[in-house]
Amino acid sequence: MLTPEEVAEKHLTAVKGGDPFLMAEDYAQDALLVRGEDVFAGKEEILNYFAGVPNRMGSGVIKFMKLEVDGSSVSFFWEITDDKKVTSGKDVMIIRNGLIQHQEVTLLTEDF
């Protein structure tokens, strides 16, 4: 079984690759993804959310900062840069039994 840090690294690699199925692969069936006022409950809703991410990012390039790991909690800052703006945020994930159970996304700028 992968450690929380390994699961997070695998997920971030999937996000960089832009494949929604790979992005959703590391979530538990009953996981929650909280993004501001939006809550995506369960793997299917999370997959549907990720299906729209590549279009929303457009030509933007995502960069992830160093992972901070504290037991089952993994947090990191990220930044998406395109020719018009820079969007940034912070994510906190709870990872247990090799799967993301809960993820909270806090936007630090306007959304992408």
What pLDDT, in 10s, does the model give residues 46-81? 999 999 988 888 889 999 999 999 999 999 999 999
Confidence of residue 42 (pLDDT cuts 50, 70, 90): very high
Among 112, 108, 72, 93, smallest CA distance to 12 is for 93
Does residue 55 or residue 29 have the better pLDDT?
29
pTM of the model: 0.92
Residue identified by tokens 């996981």 is 31
pLDDT score at 71: 97
Helix (H, G, I), strand (E, B) or coil at 7: helix
Kindly report the CATH class assigned to 4-107. alpha beta
Type of residue found at 25: E
For residue 22, pLDDT beyond 90: yes
Q: Rounded CA gap, 84 and 4, in Å?
A: 34
Sign (positive/negative) of CA torsion 2, 33, 107, 79? Answer: positive
The per-residue pLDDT for range 82-103, each reduced to its tens digit, is 888 899 999 999 999 999 999 9
Residue 111 has pLDDT above 90, yes or no: no
Q: What is the pLDDT of residue 77?
A: 98
Stretch 18-34: mean pLDDT, rounded?
Answer: 95
- Give the start-to-end residue ranges of the domains of the chain: 4-107
Phi (first) and psi of residue 65, to 5 degrees:
-90, 175
